[in-house]
Structure 1
Amino acid sequence: MAMSVEIGGGTLSEIYQSAKKLLLRTRDGLEKLERLENAGGIDSPDLSTSVKRDISQIQSFCADMDRLWRSVGAKSQRDLWKRKVEQIAEEAQSLKESLDKYNLRNQKRAQEARERAELLGRANGEGAHVLRIFDDEAQARASVRSSSRMLEEASATGESILRKYAEQRDWLKSAQRKGLDVLNTVGLSNSVLKLIERRNRVDQSIKYAGMILTVVIVVYLIWRWR
């Protein structure tokens, strides 16, 4: 009978049944690996190795059955066993591809874990140095902004002072003209007029000295707070 065809001590039917049992066990093992992966990326090297070994055994069974079904006498039986063996081989190939994808994902997770560990290991070295650079740059930017605000405030203060001096200068000129008109009216001597002019020059000197002193103070304050 066709079913009694043997190879290596097993008939075609016996090998087929053994292959079916291994398919079920392999499928269960692969599903367990995927459940562990979904539960948190847990790896089970022993189970993975067992699944891989079972797939190899199934493929070996398929090679044996592929030779056996060709020895079956009846054509209808040969065609039936051909389809059965091809189905087992396709399922074994599908399980192998699933296992390969699982192994690739597992390798990727392991690589990412190593990279994270390396980054954490450098946290107190290069990473800390980079953070210090960022801190220094942030402090420098803050200092520049502070200095810019101080400069703007100092500039505004200087402009206000200069406007006041300009107003005082106009007022002094007006007062001087009025004083000269009064003096001319009462007929004061030239010596008195010269005295007034000298006093005016002194006032002018005091005014410019005050302006210079103000500018010096502003520049000093800007330099002091940078």
Structure 2
Amino acid sequence: MESLYHQTNNTVKEIEHAFQRLGQISTQEALDVENSIQLKITQANSNCDRLDVLLFKVPPSQRQSSKLRVDQLKYDLRHLQTSLQHAKDRRQRREQEISEREQLLNHRFSANSTQPEETCLQLDYDLQHHTQLGSAHRGVDDMISSGSGILESLISQRMTLGGAHKRIQAIGSTLGLSNHTMKLIERRLVEDRKIFLGGMLVTLLIIGLIIYFLVL
């Protein structure tokens, strides 16, 4: 299990390193990196499923800590999957903006004035207005994506902490049961000791009476 855990953990680190490249490469290269990241996330999730099965073979004393480590891997993978989706959305928006800008630049405008300068000014104004609208739209989308990512992260953290809390309660209940059992055992030992001493005293008393009446 340890080797599979470390292998999956290294895969998570490779995915995090790949995310750092997305903002530094071209659109086509970004698409290839996104596909590579998705494959690694899928493989890591498959490894986590195998780790869940292997947990039953871990000694009970180590099972809780191993379970927490696997849960942390799952949380990291969910966060990376969300980040990948946001990166894809941003890339698609950039591609759409570039396509719309090219269409606008290649569009043939009919002369609406005898002055060519007025047509050029109108074209520049339309292009600037379109660029500003695209930037504002992209900013709003980024804010929504960031808020959605933060919300999903909080939900995942709540689920992880809730599971850890339940496991801690289970451990506490188990320890409480063990302490209660130990107290019962100690109480039984004290009672057995009292019965043993009482029996010895009664036996000695009977022997003394027999010696007194029969011998003396």
Normalised TM-score (structure 1): 0.47
Who wins on radius of gyration, i.e. which is larger? Answer: 1
Structure number having the greater helix percentage:
2
